[in-house]
Structure 1
Amino acid sequence: MSTSPGSASTVCLEHADLRAEIDPRAGAALLVLQSQRGGHWQDWLVDEGLAASIGTPACFPLIPFANRVAYGALEQSSARLVANRPDLSAHPIHGYAWQAPWQVDDRDAQSLQLSYDGSDDPWPWQYRAALSVVLAPRELRIQMSLINLGSEAMPAGLGLHPAFPSKDLLGVTAETTAFLPVTDTGLPDAYMAGAQECADLAAGVLPYAGMDSDFDGWRNSVRMEWSDRVLELSSDPVFAALHVFRPVAKPLLCLEPVTHLTGAMATQRLPDIPAPPMLKPAEELAGSIIFRLLQP
């Protein structure tokens, strides 16, 4: 483990031919994921400049909710949340943990353990989050958890928001059961079981430019094939949906494993969208996401 020369707060992990850079002070963001190939380092995530073009780091956790809460109106609370990034969305978006510093609890050459106390953020419930990053041969594993520290039940959500370069990307393949198109507000307006978008994704067709939608019934694995490499992103079953974001005119694609659908926590929720996980006091929501890096 070393510190990146670019930032005093950035932690660099290395194992065999793999390395990663994480910034605990910037929302536990994974800034760099690289593998050694032919004497040089191959980037698997977008670079800092391209990530900044969509207003986020290259990869970051979504805690204590994923994606958007419609108009900040929560079904389980009278509290009304304000937009935390109005430049990105009129709705609260991506949770709060990605905008706050995390504490380093432990680290070695190939792993890092972080924690975050959410008592000062706008979420109406008290919680604590933990995140670990572990490198293994050709593999990076992110484990995250969320525990309810309050005295009443709390809606809870987890997710991860990695952005991948789409240049020379040939196909994206995943099994899903439903697609949720969105309006100009960024909120879903239908739950389409067996949609053509699901069939296209199963066949490896690239998501179309402008997609910013959930796929429900995700089978917890997605395969990305570039002209010269392959990445397999998998997760524990708790991540039941996959959010796909491909902005127009930007060479990137976000594939986001999430534990609940967009709008699940809001008062304005489609009938087919299930409520989010509810945690009893001291109960925990946890899961892992794995990046497997494959090359010919």
Structure 2
Amino acid sequence: MGEDVLHLRNGDLSVDVSRFGGSLLSGMYRGTPFLKPTPTAGLASRRFGAEASFPLVPYGNRIEANVFDFGSKRFSMQPNTADPCCLHGDGWLAEWEVLSQSCCEVALRYVHHQNPSGPYAYNAVQTILLDGDALTLGLTVTNTSHDPLPFGLGFHPFFPRTPQTRLMTKARRFWTERSGHLPDAPTSIPNHLDFADARTLPPHWLNNAYDGWCGEALIDWPEHGLGLTVITDGPFDCFMIYSPDADADFFCLEPMTHLPNAHNMPAGSGLVTLEQGRSLSGSIVLRPTVLPG
């Protein structure tokens, strides 16, 4: 299997990759983190939420009551963490195989066999590439089950949060949150949560979905003179933003191809039906830059 932690470097850019969870443990640019480093060493996904970033496959976020209807069948699933709902799929809690590795690129594979905990069987391949000053994360999932099933993809990065951290991104709608950390109702974006113009994060709990996303975001850390551009390639129409409060040292902006709990929402929530052998792919590019003085 090789080493548990893989170190990639290209010029000023470096990342540490763990086979556990197919996760990133750190992302650094000129010695400054643009992903929140994890204190674990190669065991990130064995500590819930400790990663600097992890892939979401074959779906992201929660499935309410751990059941969903699709076609003429009802599918049941088992919780995969202490959360009562199935959370973030399987890949982030599994060991990935190294397919190839160089100084600035690695390809990982995770094979999930159908089992009593749920209906999904699939192969997932993730590529992590440092090209110049850009980090590209690519993810492909292929349905290997006999049933056509709804699939989704996403990424769950943890970004450093400082008092002056600014976020800028555009979306069409905002989803309120109800009990169980599930989306409630779509609404227009509240002024204080509209990041169409760069603004600092609110000081209170924030755990909401946005859809109709432009697929791009800018993050600035003025204290460190560092900025980050996030650009998606693929059907990433949604994102989740999670921030516990102003005292937290991180926040999450999670590109997703679908809404949370899309399995139990009307058609058009972003999941893609894959027949056996069919695939869904997407990627994101994280490009750190030095802020102008």
- Judged with a 3 Å threshold, the aligned counterparts in structure 2 of structure 1 residues 126 and 155 are, in CA distance, closer, same or farther, namely same
SS at match of 2:258: coil
Q: Report how far residue 213 of structure 1 moved.
A: 1.0
Letter of the aligned partner of 2:252 in structure 1?
C
- Partners of 1:107 and 1:119 lie apart in 2 by 25
- Partners of 1:197 and 1:83 lie apart in 2 by 36
| CA contact 2:232–2:284 (8 Å) conserved in 1 | yes
Letter of the aligned partner of 1:17 in structure 2?
D
- Partners of 2:193 and 2:87 lie apart in 1 by 28
TM-score by length of 2: 0.89
Match among 30, 33, 43 for residue 27 of structure 2: 33
| CA contact 1:214–1:261 (8 Å) conserved in 2 | yes
| CA contact 1:177–1:198 (8 Å) conserved in 2 | no
Q: Which has the higher strand share?
A: 2
Match among 153, 157, 166 for residue 161 of structure 2: 166
Q: Which runs of 5+ in 1 are unaligned?
A: none
Q: Report how far residue 49 of structure 1 moved.
A: 4.2
- Partners of 1:235 and 1:275 lie apart in 2 by 15
Does 1:42 find its partner at 2:40? Answer: no
2:252 aligns with 254
Task: Determine what percentage of the aligned residue pairs are the same residue.
Answer: 25
- Judged with a 3 Å threshold, the aligned counterparts in structure 2 of structure 1 residues 217 and 31 are, in CA distance, closer, same or farther, namely same
Match among 213, 230, 233 for residue 233 of structure 1: 230
1:72 aligns with 66
- Partners of 2:242 and 2:97 lie apart in 1 by 29
Deviates more, 1:146-155 or 1:134-143: 146-155
Q: Which runs of 5+ in 2 are unaligned?
A: none
- Partners of 1:258 and 1:205 lie apart in 2 by 22
Match among 268, 276, 281 for residue 281 of structure 1: 276
Matches within 5 A, 1:95-106: 95-106=89-100
2:262 aligns with 264
SS at match of 1:60: strand
Q: Report how far residue 149 of structure 1 moved.
A: 1.2
| CA contact 2:238–2:255 (8 Å) conserved in 1 | yes
Q: CA RMSD in A?
A: 2.2
Q: Report how far residue 120 of structure 1 moved.
A: 5.4
Does 1:83 find its partner at 2:73? Answer: no
What is the CA deviation profile of residues 176-201 of structure 1, one whole-angstrom value per residue up to 9, with x for unaligned ones? Answer: 00001111310111011x32258721
1:189 aligns with 184
- Partners of 1:45 and 1:58 lie apart in 2 by 6
- Judged with a 3 Å threshold, the aligned counterparts in structure 2 of structure 1 residues 22 and 273 are, in CA distance, closer, same or farther, namely same
1:111 aligns with 105
- Judged with a 3 Å threshold, the aligned counterparts in structure 2 of structure 1 residues 250 and 17 are, in CA distance, closer, same or farther, namely same
